[in-house]
């Protein structure tokens, strides 16, 4: 028998840049500043309305899902709203193992918990961990929500120095658009504010004021261009109002992907009028509000709630000006609200009404994020199985959209083709060399279809399938791409699993 090697599973890849999206540009959130060059003293009364936030965060290792990565810390300045709640970004709540609130003067400290979080909108509401921590809010003064600003209006970015002195930096709104600043593909109304800030800092977010009222949350800062992304007042107001009671439904979605229609040949093929607008529906998610309303792929949406949509997907908002169409759904509506639409289908006009709902990420075939919970996996005799998620795909490097296995990318980009298979797609992520996996060491990144004759619908069904072996004590594992079946000896793999546990690899499985 060859020696048993306990080797870490490390799988990675690199590649080329992904193509530019047709939607408004996605912006990567950056660490933003703590002190500004042009800051001036602010009213000390504002100190009653803010709290320093410190979080300890520890995410799961997507390639070795039985363990976590090294812990890290983040700091930000949150704003007190709704009595005993503190508003901050969702980035401060991601995989948080401990959250602490501190008064600006450093005299009061309390443990906090997440009351509500919206990773897509990048917002979180924190509250006291216990009754004793409730004392932290004695003497504080919640900030009111400001009236909506307009392009060109001035906003004040609030900061607190290490000695507890409040400062504000004034900047003007240069533009307003629908932007993604945390999770890719999630677009929300954002102000782009021009303000000169220092480059050295350690805060992940800052309150932004208008007339000493809360106008937004600064989420990123570009030192070169001196531009800040600020989550808009509309989004802040709706989140605080709907999340304060602890029963948060989240921002809704229509459930479609769209493309522009400015190409004249494309418009002619779609039988669209030469002087009209509209956006092409390139995909409709199964079970979405759009599908329930009867919207189909190749429809062209020309009007949403009375607002004409142009060929690039924009409409003219009475207050903000030119905005991307998704704000009419994700920014102006709540889950359960109705939205009316005018379509063109095969050259014929059509009207539909959709009841908006919230897409629960845990119900998606390939979840876009898995914050707060460990990856689902199974280690069996050295074979490592995992569920396919976007965080798993991202382990292939910055350019994973061109470097991940084509079969995985097809599942991610066209989930409707695979949803009949079950709740999740399970893959053979890799193989740890052991006496039970001789000859299989090179196998990795292959979709698993059956184990012991049973179809695999998620990690739970995979674990259950391994509870049964044939009369000879062998497991059969059917793989999609390779079109062959692996055989795994139950007795040999059982011995290997015992060795894994003794060497610290425990537990050997995790499933919802």
Q: For residue 402, is it within any domain?
A: yes
Residues 225 and 298 in one domain: no
Whole-number Å distance between alpha carbons of 363 and 328: 24
Whole-number Å distance between alpha carbons of 413 and 409: 6
Residues 332 and 415 in one domain: no
Residues 198 and 333 in one domain: no
CATH number where 84 lies? 2.40.10.120
Identify the three-state secondary structure at position 494.
helix
CA-to-CA separations, 477 to 348, 462, 469, 493, 497, in angstroms, rounded? 51, 10, 11, 14, 17
Q: For residue 26, is it within any domain?
A: no
Residues 264 and 413 in one domain: no
Q: Which residues of 132-161 are buried (b: 16+ CB within 10 A; e: fewer)?
A: ebeebbeebebbebbebbeeeeebbbbbbe
Nearest CA to 128 among 296, 300, 246, 295? 246
> Which residues, in sequence order, are CB contacts of 131 under 8 Å at separation 6+?
none
Give the domain-ending residue among 220, 249, 278: 249
Residues 270 and 210 in one domain: no
Q: For residue 25, is it within any domain?
A: no
CATH number where 325 lies? 2.30.42.10
Write the DSSP symbol of residue 199: S
The separation between the first and the last C-alpha atoms of the chain, rounded to the nearest angstrom, is: 36
Please calculate the CA angle 327-329-333 and round it to the nearest 5 degrees. Answer: 105
Residues 340 and 370 in one domain: no
Asked if 454 contacts 462 with a C-beta cutoff of 8 angstroms, the reply is: no
Residues 92 and 168 in one domain: yes
Q: Which residues of 90-113 are buried (b: 16+ CB within 10 A; e: fewer)?
A: bbbbbbbeebbbbbbeeebebebe
Give the domain-ending residue among 249, 276, 308: 249
Whole-number Å distance between alpha carbons of 411 and 367: 11
What per-residue confidence (pLDDT) applies to 39?
A: 80
Residues 316 and 448 in one domain: no
The dihedrals phi and psi of 212, each to the nearest 5 degrees, come to: 60, 25
Q: For residue 380, is it within any domain?
A: yes
Q: What is the enclosing helix (H) or strand (E) of 196? A: none
Write the DSSP symbol of residue 465: H
Nearest CA to 195 among 215, 169, 233, 158? 169
Q: For residue 15, is it within any domain?
A: no
Q: For residue 50, what are the domain limits? A: 31-249
Q: For residue 18, is it within any domain?
A: no
Nearest CA to 26 among 190, 179, 253, 223? 179
Please give the tally of structural domains in the chain.
Answer: 3
Residues 346 and 376 in one domain: no
Q: What is the enclosing helix (H) or strand (E) of 391? A: helix 390-393
HSE-up (13 A, CA, CB side) for residue 340: 6
Q: For residue 22, is it within any domain?
A: no
Q: Where are the alpha helices (DSSP H) in 204-257?
A: 233-243
Residues 245 and 221 in one domain: yes
Q: Which two tokens stand for residue 156?
A: 């004040």
Give the domain-ending residue among 332, 355, 378: 355
- For residues 3, 8, 14, 18, the Cα torsion angle rounded to the nearest 10 degrees is 130
| DSSP-assigned letters across all residues of 401-426 | HHHS-HHHHHHHH-GGGTGGG-S--E
Q: Where are the beta strands (DSSP E) in 195-270?
A: 206-210, 213-222, 227-231, 256-259
> Which residues, in sequence order, are CB contacts of 470 under 8 Å at separation 6+?
452, 476
CATH number where 474 lies? 3.20.190.20
- The per-residue pLDDT string of the chain (512 residues; one tens digit each, 9 = 90 and over) reads 334 443 343 333 333 333 334 445 555 445 555 555 678 888 899 999 999 999 999 999 999 999 999 999 999 999 999 889 999 999 999 999 999 999 999 999 999 999 999 999 999 999 999 999 999 999 999 999 999 999 999 999 999 988 888 999 999 999 999 999 899 889 999 999 999 876 444 578 999 999 999 999 999 988 888 899 999 999 999 999 999 877 888 999 999 999 999 999 999 999 999 899 999 999 898 889 999 999 999 999 999 999 999 999 999 999 999 999 999 999 999 989 999 999 999 999 999 999 999 888 888 899 999 998 999 999 999 999 999 999 999 999 999 999 999 999 999 988 888 989 999 999 999 999 999 999 999 999 999 999 999 999 999 999 999 998 777 889 999 999 767 789 999 999 999 999 999 999 989 999 98
- For residues 437, 443, 446, 447, the Cα torsion angle rounded to the nearest 10 degrees is -10
Residue with tokens 């009028």: 273
Residues 348 and 491 in one domain: no
Asked if 112 contacts 101 with a C-beta cutoff of 8 angstroms, the reply is: yes
Write the DSSP symbol of residue 362: G
What per-residue confidence (pLDDT) applies to 162?
A: 86
Residues in a beta bridge with 124: 88, 117
CA-to-CA separations, 474 to 186, 380, 396, 483, 485, in angstroms, rounded? 46, 13, 33, 19, 12
What per-residue confidence (pLDDT) applies to 259?
A: 95
HSE-up (13 A, CA, CB side) for residue 166: 24
Question: Given the DSSP bridges, would you call strands 109-118 and 154-160 parallel, antiparallel or unpaired?
Answer: unpaired
Q: What is the enclosing helix (H) or strand (E) of 437? A: none
Residue with tokens 């979405």: 288
Q: For residue 235, is it within any domain?
A: yes
Residues in a beta bridge with 209: 156, 214
Asked if 388 contacts 111 with a C-beta cutoff of 8 angstroms, the reply is: no
Whole-number Å distance between alpha carbons of 216 and 145: 9
Residues 196 and 323 in one domain: no
């Amino acid at each position: 028998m060859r020696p048993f090697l306990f080797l870490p599973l490390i799988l990675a890849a690199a590649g080329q840049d992904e193509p530019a999206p047709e939607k408004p540009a996605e912006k990567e959130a950056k660490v933003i500043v703590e002190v500004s060059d042009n800051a001036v003293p602010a009213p000390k009364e504002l100190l009653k309305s803010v709290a320093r936030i410190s979080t300890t965060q520890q995410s799961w290792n997507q390639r070795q899902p039985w363990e976590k990565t090294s812990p890290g810390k983040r700091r930000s300045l949150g704003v007190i709203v709704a009595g005993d709640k503190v508003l901050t970004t969702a980035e401060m709540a991601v995989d948080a193992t401990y959250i602490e609130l501190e008064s600006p003067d450093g005299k009061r400290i309390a443990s906090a918990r997440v009351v509500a979080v919206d990773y897509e909108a990048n917002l979180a509401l924190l509250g006291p961990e216990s009754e004793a921590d409730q004392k932290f809010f004695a003497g504080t003064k919640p900030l009111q929500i400001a009236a909506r600003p307009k392009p060109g209006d001035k906003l004040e970015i609030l900061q607190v120095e290490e000695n507890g002195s409040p400062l504000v930096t004034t900047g003007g709104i240069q533009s307003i658009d629908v932007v993604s600043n945390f999770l890719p593909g999630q677009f929300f109304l954002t102000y782009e504010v021009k303000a000169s800030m220092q480059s050295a800092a350690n805060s992940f977010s800052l309150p932004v004021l208008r007339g000493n009222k809360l106008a937004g949350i600064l989420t990123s800062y570009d030192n070169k261009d001196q531009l800040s992304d600020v989550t808009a007042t509309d989004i802040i107001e709706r989140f605080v109002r709907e999340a304060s009671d602890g029963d948060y439904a989240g921002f809704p979605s229509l459930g479609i992907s769209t493309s522009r229609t400015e190409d004249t040949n494309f418009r002619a093929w779609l039988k669209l009028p030469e002087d009209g607008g509209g956006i092409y529906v390139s995909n409709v998610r199964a079970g979405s509000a759009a599908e329930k309303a009867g919207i189909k792929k190749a429809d062209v949406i020309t009007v949403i709630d009375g607002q004409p949509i142009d060929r690039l997907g924009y409409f003219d908002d009475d207050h903000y000006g030119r905005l991307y169409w998704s704000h009419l759904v994700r920014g102006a509506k709540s889950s359960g609200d109705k939205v009316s639409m005018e379509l063109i289908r095969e050259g014929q006009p059509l009207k539909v009404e959709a009841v908006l709902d919230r897409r629960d990420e845990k119900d998606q075939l390939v979840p876009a994020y898995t914050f707060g919970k460990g990856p689902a996996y199974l280690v069996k005799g050295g074979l490592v199985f995992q569920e396919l998620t976007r965080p798993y795909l991202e382990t292939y490097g910055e350019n994973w959209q061109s470097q991940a296995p084509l079969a995985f990318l097809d599942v991610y980009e066209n989930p409707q083709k695979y949803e009949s298979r079950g709740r999740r797609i399970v893959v053979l992520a890799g193989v740890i060399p052991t006496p039970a996996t001789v000859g299989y060491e090179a196998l990795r990144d292959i979709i698993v279809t059956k184990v012991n004759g049973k179809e695999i619908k998620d990690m739970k069904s995979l674990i259950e399938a391994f509870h049964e072996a044939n009369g000879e004590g062998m497991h059969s594992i059917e793989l999609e791409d390779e079109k062959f079946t692996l055989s795994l000896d139950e007795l040999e793999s059982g011995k290997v699993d015992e060795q894994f546990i003794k060497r610290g690899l425990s537990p050997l499985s995790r499933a919802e």
